């Protein structure tokens, strides 16, 4: 690039920056050695007009402020007009598959995230989600509630946990002055390669293939299909009567998936992705999701499912995708055996 040395360079309207010609020549000769010079060349020198301050015909020329960008020359030409500030270019559309993550950038606040997660586990998840039925049985002096009573009690317990979680999230974000949508459910964004229809189909396919391989391996190795006492309890809930079956579906296919997607994907994954990258955010949120179940037997399956759910949310940028995968997976687990 050849710079014509004049008396000065107009950088900002109504402000002149005069540089001695000798210094400008040296800077032009060695500018290619500077780190990231090609970004500066594309971002800031494109519309800079080197002119003399005495030339009135060039007084209205305006430069693009230096901005870090990765756009190529062709992309820049297609997405900008002369003199346009590239900082105001909207993010790429959903049809652009060059970048995997579609999550918005949010400010990372470690103290806020840790405070919420500790408060959520200590005040809501452990006493309600994990110990709610046990506490209720002790208060009622009943050793074991009937299946219908259990599932109806679970509806109330999970509703309390869900409402408390939303309140706690909003309070935590208000105190830390964070502002982002942790309940980004968009049913209208269904079509396209990033729509929730294609994402749900691909996510369920991955989970189905992995679960099929696991089941066949266990059957060939031990001669049994994977099962445990929790599955037996859920089967008792669904086989009691129509009301119990509806309540079971409400709890395990709607309320619990909604709660877990808001906490582990909508909040935790999204807040970590901007700081650590979406890959580490998916892994870390899946690990916390697995630990939260306190289920060693199904830990590998839970971690894999968490990774699929996190990847689906990251790819689509829509919690509807991970919510539907989660709900359908739970439904297949409950009613598919």
The edge-to-edge listing of strands for the beta sheet with 8-12 is 15-17, 8-12, 49-51
The pLDDT of residue 157 is above 50? yes
The verdict on 75 and 148 lying in the same domain is: no
Residue at 190 is within a domain: yes
119 and 54 in one domain? no
Token pair 């900082």 in the structure block, residue:
87
Q: What percent of the chain lies above the pLDDT cut of 90?
A: 42
pLDDT tens by residue, 284-335: 999 999 999 998 988 999 999 999 999 999 999 999 999 999 999 999 888 8
pLDDT bucket at 43, cuts 50 / 70 / 90: very low
Asked if 120 and 263 touch (Cβ cutoff 8 Å), the reply is yes
Mean pLDDT of the chain: 75
- Whether pLDDT at 93 is above 80: no
Name the residue among 51, 47, 57 with its Cα closest to residue 84: 47
Structure tokens at 224: 């049994």
Report if residue 331 sits inside a domain: yes
Residue 128 pLDDT > 80? yes
Residue 66 covered by a domain:
yes
Question: Are 27 and 137 within one domain?
Answer: no
Instruction: With a cut of 60, say whether residue 30 has pLDDT above it.
Output: no
From CA 308, how far away is CA 125, in angstroms rounded?
23
Question: Is 194 a member of any domain?
Answer: yes
Do 209 and 309 reside in the same domain of the chain?
A: yes
- Distance, in Å, from the CA atom of 231 to the CA atom of 252, rounded to the nearest integer, reads 12
Q: What are phi and psi of 316, to 5 degrees?
A: -90, -25
pTM of the full structure: 0.69
For the chain, how are helix, strand and coil distributed in percent, rounded to 5?
65, 5, 35
Residue 97 is assigned to a structural domain of this protein: no
Quick one: 114 and 82 in the same domain?
Answer: no
**Structural domains of the chain, count:** 2
Do 311 and 225 share a structural domain? yes
> Which structural domain, as residue segments, surrounds residue 156?
110-335
Q: Are 48 and 9 in contact (CB under 8 A)?
A: yes
* 96, part of any domain: no
Do 132 and 66 lie in one domain? The reply is no
Q: Is residue 127 part of a domain?
A: yes
pLDDT of 20 higher than 80? no
Whole-number pLDDT of residue 227: 52
Distance CA 101, CA 94 (A): 10
- Taking a C-beta distance cutoff of 8 angstroms, is the pair 272, 228 a contact? no
Are 133 and 279 within one domain?
yes
The whole-number pLDDT of residue 280 equals: 95
């Amino acid at each position: 690039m050849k710079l014509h040395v004049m008396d000065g360079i107009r950088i900002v309207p109504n402000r002149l920056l005069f540089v001695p010609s000798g210094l400008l020549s040296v800077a032009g000769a060695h500018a290619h050695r500077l780190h990231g010079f090609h970004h500066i060349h594309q971002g800031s020198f494109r519309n800079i007009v080197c002119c003399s301050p005495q030339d009135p015909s060039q007084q209205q020329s305006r430069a693009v402020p230096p901005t870090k960008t990765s756009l190529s020359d062709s992309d820049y030409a297609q997405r900008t007009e002369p003199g346009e500030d590239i900082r105001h270019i909207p993010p790429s559309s959903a049809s652009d598959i060059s970048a995997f993550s579609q999550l918005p950038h949010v400010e990372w606040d470690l103290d806020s995230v840790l405070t919420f997660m500790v408060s959520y586990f200590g005040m809501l998840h452990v006493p309600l989600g994990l110990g709610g039925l046990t506490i209720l049985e002790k208060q009622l002096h009943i050793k074991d509630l009937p299946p219908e009573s259990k599932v109806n009690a679970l509806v109330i317990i999970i509703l309390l946990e869900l409402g408390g979680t939303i309140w706690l999230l909003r309070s935590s974000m208000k105190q830390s002055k964070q502002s982002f949508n942790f309940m980004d459910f968009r049913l209208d964004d269904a079509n396209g390669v990033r729509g929730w229809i294609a994402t749900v189909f691909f996510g369920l396919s991955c989970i189905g293939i992995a679960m099929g391989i696991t089941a066949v391996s266990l059957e060939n190795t031990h001669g049994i299909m994977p099962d445990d006492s929790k599955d037996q309890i859920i089967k008792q809930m669904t086989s009691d009567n129509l009301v119990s079956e509806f309540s079971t579906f409400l709890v395990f296919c709607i309320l619990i998936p909604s709660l877990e997607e808001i906490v582990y994907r909508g909040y935790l994954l999204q807040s970590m992705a901007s700081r650590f990258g979406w890959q580490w955010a998916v892994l870390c949120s899946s690990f916390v999701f697995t630990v939260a179940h306190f289920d060693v037997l199904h830990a590998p399956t839970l971690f894999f499912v968490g990774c699929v759910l996190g990847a689906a949310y990251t790819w689509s940028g829509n919690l509807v995708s991970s919510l539907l995968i989660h709900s359908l997976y739970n439904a297949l687990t409950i009613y598919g055996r």
